[in-house]
Amino acid sequence: MTTKNTIRIKRPKQVTPYNAQHIGRREEQQDYFSYSDIFNPEEYELMGAVGVLADGMGGLDNGRLASHTATEVFLSAYREACAGGLGINDALVRAAHEANTAVHGIEGAGTTLCAAVIKDWRLYWLSIGDSRIYLYRNGAVRRINNEHNYEKVLDRMAANGEISVEEALSNPNRAALTSYIGIDELDEIDLNPDVFPLFSGDSVLLCSDGLYRALSDKEIAKIVRDADDDVCDVLVNAAMKKNLVTQDNITVVLMDVD
């Protein structure tokens, strides 16, 4: 794929946002998402094109309130930090801590949060918990963020011989989060460490676990490649067609870069 020197162009000709949700087999939609004002040139120059997704923790009473609060506080704090002169990564981290403080003040509340920023043909991201950020490029997707769950701890223990592989795989706490918005001390934050260039034809996809636990990476990539403007709806419908008894809420946020 030719880049036509696009990395030197100040901004993409267009960042096109898409999104879709489904309650799944849950009683309540505890996912929430939002975008910055992507089509406002002044807002783009200030903070880039921003997509945010939060997945309220279903085991806690106020998961829905947590995801809504985290997303809105995060976006507002990120904008304020950019307006105050902070660089994108520093602004993302400050916004995450402000969101954590806000959600921590709500009794029985916790949520994952992931955010992607597209600016000047570069991608920046932050994630906390186990919601995923994928990069679609050249017909394939790959997860680019790190998840915060007990699975990593168990696998490391198995690799060190402290427990067996079978014990690691069967541990009932394997999916438990080790970091989330609303935690007492927010120490684990995944942040892209290096310059991450984007090219025309790339897509950035954020999703809650209701999507990736139903669809494989190959299935996700095929849908993103083949679907048109209804790409997020197609992803959600494909997940629901799996008829999983434990189907969680599904939320998909996608930004095309042209």
pLDDT digits (tens, 9 = 90+) for 155-173: 888 889 888 888 878 888 7
Which of the four pLDDT bands, split at 50, 70 and 90, describes residue 121? very high
Share of the chain above pLDDT 70, in %: 94
Averaged over 128-147, what is the pLDDT? 97
CATH number for 13-147+178-257: choose from 3.40.50.1240, 3.60.40.10, 3.40.50.300, 3.40.50.10420: 3.60.40.10
Tokens of 224: 């993103």
For residue 112, the SS3 value is: coil
The dihedral over CA atoms of 37, 80, 65, 150, expressed in degrees to the nearest 10, equals 100
User: Are the C-beta atoms of 211 and 221 separated by less than 8 Å?
Assistant: no
Tokens of 155: 């696998």
pLDDT in tens, 216-234: 999 999 999 999 889 999 9
The dihedral over CA atoms of 194, 200, 201, 205, expressed in degrees to the nearest 10, equals 40
Whole-prediction pTM: 0.90
Q: Is the pLDDT of residue 115 over 90?
A: yes
DSSP E strand boundaries for 138-198: 140-143, 190-191
Sorted by where each begins, the domain ranges of the chain are 13-147+178-257
CA angle 63, 68, 74 (to 5 degrees): 120
Share of the chain above pLDDT 90, in %: 78
pLDDT, residue 4, reads: 36
